[in-house]
Amino acid sequence: MTRPTWYQDEPERSFRITPLSHWRGVDLLMLVLAVFQVLVLFFHVDRFLMLQPEHLTNPLRWYELVTYSLVHSRTDILHLVFNLLFLFVFGRQVEAMIGGRPAFLRFALLAALVSSVTYLFFELIRFGAAYPMLGASGIAYACLVAFATLMPHAEVVVFFFPVRAWVLAAILMLIALYTSAVSNFTGVAHLAHLGGGAFGFLYVRYRHSFGSIVERARQQRRENRAERDVDRRREMDRILEKISREGLNSLTRAERRFLDSASKDLRNRR
């Protein structure tokens, strides 16, 4: 029996794991947070990664200004769940709008840093001390506010009710502002939320200006490097001419050091 010309066998379906190199930046971050939560539960790595202000007198512990965002509470699993939810709902959209995975990972790193610095700065001013802090809430709030800035009229469903993105962001930021202003430490670092949200807004609003500043700095470094290369070539030509004219023994100690350094650079470039 012949098959109709329009008939096609159904393609075979196979399970394939997408390589991590193809993952979105926000998905990689969510995976990292989940893995670190397992490490927190079984190996208590939060002791080494959470932000503990008394450790910051030691420059070797400054990494805690960022790594605190990788670990969450051992007892309050909702802390991690809500942060993952924010990242999933808002982070994916933000990543697509600000330039893809590299841009989002930079965004998340800076959001974590700004959140921790904001928290420490105002807590130390108000109370002269600060409690330890952990969690990616600063990054989550940065994603929320960045999304609301980029798409203020987008609707977000909250408990079955649609809410404008800018309204949701404004409500949560006002709650964080009010709570941090009228109460002492409540177990939630609301100032970190405010820092993350403020960073999300400023980054989106001024990212093009920031990008142009970075590009100008890179261009200036390239020009400076090119000028140094020209100067080095001129000095090399002068030394080689001196060697051909007066011999190798005529070189000064400084000229010999320069020649050795130039030779090492040439070998490294190869």
Q: Which of 21, 108, 101, 113 is nearest to 66 (CA)?
A: 113
| Domain count for the chain | 2
pLDDT of residue 9: 54
Same domain, 129 and 261: no
Summarize pLDDT for 166-220 with one digit per residue, the tens: 999 999 999 999 998 887 666 688 999 999 999 999 999 988 666 666 667 777 8
The pLDDT tens digits of the residues spanning 37-56 come to: 999 999 999 999 999 999 99
CA atoms within 13 Å, Cβ hemisphere of 171: 7
6-10, 102-106, 116-120, 215-219: the lowest-pLDDT one: 6-10
Q: How far apart are CA 195 and CA 145, in angstroms?
A: 11
Q: Give the span between the Cα atoms of 164 and 262, in whole angstroms.
A: 62
pLDDT at 6 over 50: no
The predicted pLDDT at position 231 comes to 83
Residue 232's CB is within 10 A of a number of other CB atoms, namely 14
The answer to whether residues 123 and 242 belong to one domain is no
146-168 per-position pLDDT tens digit? 999 999 999 999 888 999 999 99
Q: How far apart are CA 77 and CA 118, in angstroms?
A: 25
Q: Name which of 31-35, 77-81, 114-118, 242-246 the model is least confident about.
A: 242-246
User: Domain for residue 7, yes or no?
Assistant: no
Q: What average pLDDT does the segment 82-102 reach?
A: 94
Which CATH number do you get for residue 168? 1.20.1540.10
Lowest average pLDDT, out of 22-31, 107-116, 211-220, 244-253, goes to: 211-220
Q: Are residues 234 and 155 in the same domain?
A: no
- 67 domain-assigned: yes
250 and 209 in one domain?
no
Whether 151 and 243 map to the same domain: the answer is no
Q: pLDDT at residue 25 above 80? A: yes
Is residue 1, in this structure, part of any structural domain at all?
no
pLDDT tens digits along 243-264: 888 887 888 888 888 878 877 7
Compute the distance between CA of residue 85 and CA of residue 108 in angstroms, rounded to an integer: 15
**51-82 tens-digit pLDDT:** 999 999 999 999 999 999 999 999 999 999 99
Q: Which range, 1-5, 17-21, 181-185, is most confident?
A: 17-21
pLDDT of residue 213: 64
Residue 142 covered by a domain: yes
Note the pLDDT of residue 252. 86
Provide the pLDDT for residue 3.
54
- Say if 12 falls within a structural domain: no
Averaged pLDDT, 11-30: 79
What pLDDT was estimated at residue 120?
95
Residue 6, in any domain of the structure: no
Is 9 within the bounds of a domain?
no
List the domain range (segments joined by +) for residue 90.
Answer: 22-219
